[in-house]
Chains A and B, each alone.
Chain A
Amino acid sequence: QLQLQESGPGLVKPSETLSLTCTVSGGSISSILDYWGWIRQPPGKGLEWIGSIYSSGSAFYNPSLRSRVTVSVDTSRNQFSLKMTSVTAADTAMYFCARHGGYCSGGTCFYPSGEFDSWGQGSLVTVSS
């Protein structure tokens, strides 16, 4: 059974960089049918997509966060990561990683248009001095 687990600091200072890693077990991050995504949820609020990446390194980002966000993949460790720069209190949230289905054809995927079908339990990140 596929499992995802987020890890990283729970407290980040304003203006610094938030870094999280998602470790995938029970499946391969190199799957030709899957993207891998990050979603966040501020306390008491709804879900916000951050970005998703394919094993090739092709990534898609939320336009409102693109200037501050980088998602990367490490196939050798079966992990993918999130970096968000210049954080503020507004970035305080539960951060989830998830497997993200894509539009795929001919052995490759073109964009992450599908569902998030497996989620990590989430990692709470607080931005505060």
Chain B
Amino acid sequence: SYVLTQPPSVSVAPGKTASITCGGDNIGLKNVHWYQQKSGQAPVQVISYDTDRPSAIPKRISGFNAGNTATLTISGAEAGDEADYYCQVWDSSRDQVVFGGGTKLTVL
């Protein structure tokens, strides 16, 4: 089955840029969706279809997808960005949704 690989943790200093990667075989050929989950809360969609951002999500959150890696970038990191982030794709070969293992973002 299709596997999405995320680093377990990423740290960033306040005001700096954090990049969270999501690796998969030719993931650039798939549509990647990203979710933010703060402690004790339900996930919230932050990026869909690689780069699309819902209106409520700040512009400093962006996505990119090419080759074997999709990347979620958070610019000007704030304490409020501390959360778990998950990538997700549709595996058309098995007709199933696949989630990455999640990345815990810490703003130091």
Contacts and interface: CB of A to CB of B under 8 A. Distances in A.
Interface in A8-49: 37, 46-49
Give the interface centre of B44, B45, B49, B92 by most chain A CB atoms within 10 Å: B45
Contacts, number: 64
Given A112-B90, A113-B90, A115-B33, A46 B48 contact: no
Contacts of A119: 42-44
Interface residues of B, number: 27
Contact of B97 (A46, A52, A117, A120): A52
25 contacts: A46-B99, A47-B43, A47-B102, A49-B96, A49-B98, A49-B99, A61-B96, A62-B96, A62-B97, A96-B42, A101-B48, A111-B92, A111-B95, A112-B90, A112-B97, A113-B90, A113-B92, A114-B48, A116-B35, A117-B48, A117-B54, A119-B42, A120-B42, A121-B41, A121-B42
